[in-house]
């Protein structure tokens, strides 16, 4: 058994301990529920090298982190938070350790799809969600353009299953938008998790709706209406205790700002607009998807107040032509966007089809700041009949950047 020193200076005298305390040899010093009675008792425990099991220690720290999160959300001063002692309760959810999830975005898409489709019956869902979110956050931090490229490309491939791709892309869009808006770092993981799980109660139907050629029937429309609350119920069933997460998920389509927790209004707004943006771009069997530019215009044009502010930040974060989407250049070439540029309308792109409509064996990187390669119009993925090799795209971009 591996032991960790007891954080004795952070424990309040007289407060019941939520875990047993051991010495370094594994002998029991205090049972769960007992207290540290006074300063002399502390000295005795220190002399015996009081410890916790590693699992209890990690769970207690997660419980403490949750306490700090709640204090921050209540605008408690940093000075007061610094004086906060270890909590006297540990929830079952605090013992959850995220599964190791490796690989790239399509690997994450496969794991997340399994969780979402299984819904309330998912096995170890919180551990797996934690693993997906940890890996996704790492990949997004390492290369946001690669993230967007992979997910926008995947969005056009219905064989992958729509629900998980949509969730990951909305989560990435929320995170990038939240950064643009300088949202507090403490709330951004909650927003990310809400995006991953908001549609968990209708994941199977969401995949079906993406493929069907007719409008939703009465039952499907009712499920679409009810799914935010049902998704929150599934998360509660998993043991989720974060009221902000449950609030954001249960109201992510709701425009009535009198409902729910006031402190989550900005987060719900970001999620709602990112959700609408990605849904607009995604093609259905019954209709072609909008271009990212068209979805951006729909998000921003006509919006007022905070919706307009968030819509502008979303557009700035992703660009008018996000990586992974297609454009026609002024010289007639068809290119795929590969990197966001310094301006929303000037990404770095890679030509994959020449002006005569012939697919290129060697991709050519183009800088859209150059008038010869300026973007003339977006091109829908339905109009691209060739498979794009991501490795060749980024090699072309690296070659261009090396010459600048």
Q: Tens digit of pLDDT for each residue in 228-260?
A: 999 999 999 999 999 999 999 999 999 888 999
CA dihedral 101, 94, 173, 275 (to 10 degrees): 110
The answer, yes or no, to whether residue 284 has pLDDT greater than 80, is no
Q: Are residues 199 and 228 in the same domain?
A: yes
pLDDT at 329 over 80: yes
**Is the same domain home to 213 and 257?**
yes
The answer to whether residues 231 and 338 belong to one domain is no
On whether both 308 and 179 belong to a single domain, the answer is: yes
Q: What is the pLDDT of residue 226?
A: 94
Q: What is the pLDDT of residues 68-90, one digit of tens each?
A: 999 999 889 989 999 999 999 99
Residues 6+ apart with CB under 8 A from 287: none
Is 398 within the bounds of a domain?
yes
Distance set, CA 321 to CA 52, 123, 152, 179, 198 (Å)? 53, 38, 11, 19, 26
pLDDT of 192 reads 98
Residue at 100 is within a domain: no
In a domain, 389, yes or no: yes
Question: Is residue 379 helix, strand or coil?
Answer: strand
> 128-131 long-range CB contacts below 8 Å, 24 or more apart?
128/98, 128/99, 128/101, 129/98, 129/193, 129/196, 129/197, 130/96, 130/97, 130/98, 130/99, 131/98, 131/99, 131/100, 131/101
More confident residue, 402 or 118: 118
State the Cα–Cα distance between residues 399 and 404, nearest whole angstrom.
Answer: 9
Does residue 119 share a domain with residue 50? no
- Residues 240, 180 within the same domain: yes
- 154 & 183 share domain: yes
Report residue 305's pLDDT band, with 50, 70 and 90 as the boundaries.
confident
> Quick check: 323 pLDDT over 90?
yes
Could you tell me if residue 152 is inside a domain?
Answer: yes
**376 SS3 class:** strand
Handedness of CA 225, 231, 237, 240 (dihedral sign): negative
Check whether residue 246 and residue 394 sit in a common domain.
no
Domain match, 165 and 306 both: yes
In this predicted model, what pLDDT tens digit does every residue of 167-200 receive, in sequence order?
Answer: 999 999 999 999 999 999 999 999 999 999 999 9
pLDDT of residue 156: 84
In the chain, how many domains are there?
Answer: 3
The answer to whether residues 109 and 180 belong to one domain is yes
Q: In this predicted structure, which of 54-58, 71-75, 166-170, 287-291 has the lowest mean pLDDT?
A: 287-291
77 and 176 fall within a common domain: no
Residue 303 belongs to domain spanning:
105-318
Strand, helix or coil for residue 146: helix
Of 318, 348, 366, which one is at a domain's C-terminal end?
318
Same domain, 240 and 330: no
Q: How far apart are CA 155 and CA 207, in angstroms?
A: 12
């Amino acid at each position: 058994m591996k032991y960790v020193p007891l954080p004795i200076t952070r424990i309040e005298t007289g407060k019941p301990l939520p875990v047993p305390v051991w010495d370094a040899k594994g002998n029991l010093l205090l049972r769960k529920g007992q207290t540290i009675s006074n300063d002399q008792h502390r000295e005795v425990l220190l002399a015996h090298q009081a410890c916790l099991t590693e699992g209890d220690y990690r769970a207690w720290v997660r419980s403490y982190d949750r306490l700090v999160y709640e204090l921050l959300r209540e605008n408690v001063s940093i000075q007061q938070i610094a004086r906060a002692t270890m909590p006297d309760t540990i929830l079952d959810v605090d013992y959850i350790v995220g599964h190791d999830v490796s690989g790239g975005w399509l690997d994450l898409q496969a794991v997340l799809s399994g969780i979402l489709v299984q819904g309330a019956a998912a096995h170890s869902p919180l551990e797996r969600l934690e693993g997906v979110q940890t890996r996704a956050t790492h990949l997004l931090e390492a290369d946001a353009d690669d993230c967007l490229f992979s997910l926008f490309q995947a969005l056009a491939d219905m064989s992958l299953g729509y629900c998980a791709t949509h969730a990951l892309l909305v989560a990435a869009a929320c995170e990038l938008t939240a950064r643009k808006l300088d949202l507090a770092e403490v709330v951004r993981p909650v927003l990310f998790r809400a995006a991953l799980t908001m549609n968990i109660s209708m994941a199977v139907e969401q995949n079906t709706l993406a493929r069907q050629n007719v409008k939703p029937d009465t039952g499907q429309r009712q499920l679409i209406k009810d799914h935010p609350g049902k998704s929150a119920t599934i998360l509660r069933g998993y043991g989720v205790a974060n009221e902000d997460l449950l609030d954001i998920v249960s109201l992510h389509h709701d425009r009535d700002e009198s409902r729910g927790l006031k402190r989550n209004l900005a987060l719900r707004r970001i999620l709602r607009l990112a959700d609408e943006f990605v849904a607009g771009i995604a093609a259905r069997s019954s209709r072609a998807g909008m271009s990212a530019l068209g979805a951006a215009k729909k998000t921003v044009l006509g919006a007022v107040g905070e919706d307009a502010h968030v819509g502008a930040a979303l557009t700035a974060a992703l660009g008018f032509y996000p990586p992974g989407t297609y454009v026609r250049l002024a010289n007639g070439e068809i290119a795929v966007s590969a990197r966001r540029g310094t301006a929303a309308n000037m990404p770095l792109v890679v030509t994959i089809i020449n002006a005569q409509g012939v697919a290129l064996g060697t991709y050519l990187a183009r800088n859209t700041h150059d008038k010869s390669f300026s973007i003339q119009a977006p091109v829908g993925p339905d109009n691209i009949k060739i498979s794009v090799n991501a490795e060749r795209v980024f090699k072309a971009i690296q070659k261009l950047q090396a010459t600048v």
